[in-house]
Amino acid sequence: MRTLITLMLLAVLVMAATCYVSVCSEQPLAFSDPFINRRRAHDFIQADTRLEAISQERIRERNKAPQERQREICEDYYPCELYAFRHGYAAAYRHYFGRRRTK
C-alpha cells in the first residue's frame, strides 16, 4: 500500500512537471506560422555593412578634395616632394605645377 501511494505521488509530480503551461508555451511556435509581420522582418535580416563601407570608400576615392589630388601629384614627382618637406605641399605644388608654361 505504501508503494502504491509513493508511486501515485511520484506520477503526479512527473505529470505536473511535464504538463506545466508557461507563457512561452502559449505563444505559437515559429514553424507553425511561416509568415511574420513587416515590422519584425527587419529584426533578423540586416544589411551587409561591409559591402556598404566598400562602396562608400569607392565613392570617396572618386570625389577627392583638390588639395588631396595636388598632394598625390606632388608625391609622385620626387623634386616636388623634396620641396614639400621644406615648404609644404601647397607651396610645392604651386612651385612645380601651379603656373602653366606655354610657349
DSSP secondary structure string for all residues of 37-66: -HHHHHHH----HHHHHHHHHHHHHHS--H
Residue whose C-alpha is closest to residue 69's, from 89, 95, 49? 89
Q: Which three cell numbers stand for residue 65?
A: 578634395
pLDDT confidence bin for 12, thresholds 50/70/90: confident
Mean per-residue pLDDT of the chain: 77
pLDDT confidence bin for 68, thresholds 50/70/90: confident
pLDDT of 48-60, one tens digit each?
Answer: 667 777 777 777 6
Name the CA radius of gyration of the chain, rounded: 37
Q: Hey, where are the domains in the chain?
A: 73-102
Whole-model pTM: value is: 0.39
pLDDT at position 20 over 90:
no
DSSP state of 95: I
Q: What pLDDT does 46 receive?
A: 63
Q: What pLDDT does 9 receive?
A: 87
* Helix orientation angle between 78-87 and 66-76, rounded to the nearest 10 degrees: 120
Q: What pLDDT does 91 receive?
A: 93
Q: What pLDDT does 95 receive?
A: 92
